[in-house]
Amino acid sequence: MEYINRCTLSINGQEITDFKKFTDNERELARQVNLMNKTGHCGVTQRPGCKLDYVVPLDSEPFDFDVVKDGTLSVEYENGKRITFSGVRTLKVGESTIDGDNELVQTIEFGAQKRAAE
Q: 56-108: per-residue pLDDT in tens?
A: 998 889 999 999 999 999 999 988 899 999 999 999 999 989 887 788 999 99
The count of structural domains within the chain is 1
Q: Which of 1, 2, 16 is nearest to 80 (CA)?
A: 2
What pTM, to 2 d.p., does this model score? Answer: 0.85
Question: Which structural domain range is residue 42 located in?
Answer: 4-117
Q: How far apart are CA 91 and CA 112, in angstroms?
A: 10
C-alpha torsion angle, residues 103, 108, 112, 117 (rounded to 10): 30
Residue type, 118: E
CATH for 58: 2.40.30.200
Q: 94-107: per-residue pLDDT in tens?
A: 998 988 778 899 99
Residue type, 41: H
